[in-house]
């Protein structure tokens, strides 16, 4: 049983500038490395089960994307499908069909997916979670406006995809206690931007993620993935040596 699990964060798979774009080549390398290290992608329910003490996330990774950029459909999905991976995309529901018009530095204005693309990808097995309706920082709104963003974005997805989504991610990772409570009223699980491996002891509505911006270098990514395995192998070796010594 693994006591920790990996949740990866991506935004755009493109050559746009800034930390929220990863080049198609780097993304392909990261997915290839995962597959070579024996990892499979997990679905949201598997991760949720693991967090609640059921099942295992060893050699599994939950791949998440924020913002519904159009390059997900065009570039990321074909690469994911090469390895039989699925991903969970967090959608700012009322921005679909337009371009990124919220604060980003440097400003990139990347185009977003259309609703029909999300419907098609959902049929292909990709998962979708809510990310607010307008990508505003949730602590900056209250009352009906906040309910519109939190519950409303899930209601939009429910209307399009036939079921209320289990997962939410707050835009910019911006939350306060009240926001987290309101998210918990509607969603089974929510993901933040704290950089860490997820643990069962994490608050179910503030699960940390690994921002893949930090693993553009192939060696860094492979070392990170194999760190656990090397440690595990070392422990197994020590145990065998110990047993041999006791027998001797
Ligand atoms: Zn976002």
CA of 66 to the centre of ligand 1 (A): 5
Domain assignment present for 85: yes
- Ligand 1 mean position, distance from CA 135 (Å): 6
Q: How far is the CA of 206 from the centre of ligand 1 (A)?
A: 15
The pLDDT value given to residue 42 = 98
Helix (H) or strand (E) holding 154: helix 143-161
- In order, the DSSP letters of 113-136 are PPHHHHHHHHHTT-EEEE--SS--
- Rounded to 5 degrees, φ, ψ at 95 are -100, -5
Q: Which of 173, 200, 205, 177 is nearest to 190 (CA)?
A: 205
Report how many domains make up the chain. Answer: 1
Residue 89: C-alpha distances to residues 9, 72, 95, 153 (Å): 10, 9, 14, 13
Q: Residues with beta carbon < 5 A to ion ligand 1?
A: 66-67, 171
Answer whether residue 246 is part of any domain: no
Sign for the CA dihedral angle at 129, 132, 136, 138 comes to negative
Q: Which residues of the chain have pLDDT under 70?
A: 1, 228-248
172 Cα to the center of ligand 1, angstroms = 6
State the pLDDT at residue 231: 46
Q: What is the predicted pLDDT for the residue at 106? A: 82
CATH code where residue 185 lies: 3.20.20.370
- Answer yes or no: is 242 within a domain: no
Give a yes or no: residue 142 inside a domain.
yes
Q: Could you identify the residue written with the tokens 């509505």?
A: 205
Helix (H, G, I), strand (E, B) or coil at 186: helix
164 occurs within a structural domain: yes
Q: How far is the CA of 244 from the centre of ligand 1 (A)?
A: 54
Q: Which residue has the tokens 């969603």?
A: 187
pLDDT of residue 127: 98
Give the pLDDT confidence score for residue 3 in this predicted structure: 84
Task: Kindly give the distance from the C-alpha atom of residue 69 to the centroid of ligand 1, in angstroms, as a whole number.
Answer: 10
pTM for this predicted structure: 0.90
Q: pLDDT tens across 86-111, in order?
A: 999 999 999 999 999 998 888 888 99
Q: How far apart are CA 82 and CA 49, in angstroms?
A: 26
pLDDT at 48: 97
Residue 31 lies in a domain: yes
Place of tokens 């307008």: 134
Give the distance (Å) from ligand 1 centre to CA of residue 139: 14
pLDDT value at position 237? 59
In a domain, 232, yes or no: no
Containing structural domain, residue 203: 4-216
Q: Is residue 248 part of a domain?
A: no
Rounded to the nearest angstrom, the distance between the alpha carbon of 153 and the centre of ligand 1 is 13
């Amino acid at each position: 049983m693994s006591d920790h699990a990996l949740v990866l964060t991506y935004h755009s798979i493109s050559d746009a500038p800034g930390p929220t774009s990863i080049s198609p080549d780097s993304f392909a390398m990261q997915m290839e490395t995962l597959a070579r290290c024996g990892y499979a992608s997990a679905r949201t329910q598997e991760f949720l089960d693991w967090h609640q003490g059921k099942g295992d996330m060893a050699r599994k990774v939950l791949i998440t994307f924020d913002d519904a950029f159009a390059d997900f459909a065009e570039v990321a999905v074909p690469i994911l499908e090469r390895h039989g991976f699925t991903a969970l995309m967090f959608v700012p529901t009322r921005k679909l069909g337009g371009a990124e018009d919220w604060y980003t530095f440097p400003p990139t204005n990347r185009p977003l997916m259309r609703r029909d693309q999300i419907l098609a990808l959902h049929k292909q097995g990709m998962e979708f979670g809510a990310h607010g309706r307008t990508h505003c920082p949730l602590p900056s709104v209250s009352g009906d406006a906040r309910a519109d963003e939190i519950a409303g974005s899930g209601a939009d997805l429910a209307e399009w995809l036939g079921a209320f989504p289990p997962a939410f991610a707050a835009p910019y990772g911006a939350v306060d206690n009240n926001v987290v409570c309101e998210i918990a009223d509607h969603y089974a699980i929510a993901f933040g931007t704290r950089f860490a491996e997820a643990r069962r002891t994490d608050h179910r509505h503030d699960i940390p993620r690994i921002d893949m911006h930090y693993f553009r270098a192939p060696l860094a990514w492979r070392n990170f993935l194999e760190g656990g395995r090397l440690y595990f192998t070392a422990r197994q070796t020590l145990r065998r040596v110990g047993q041999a010594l006791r027998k001797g």
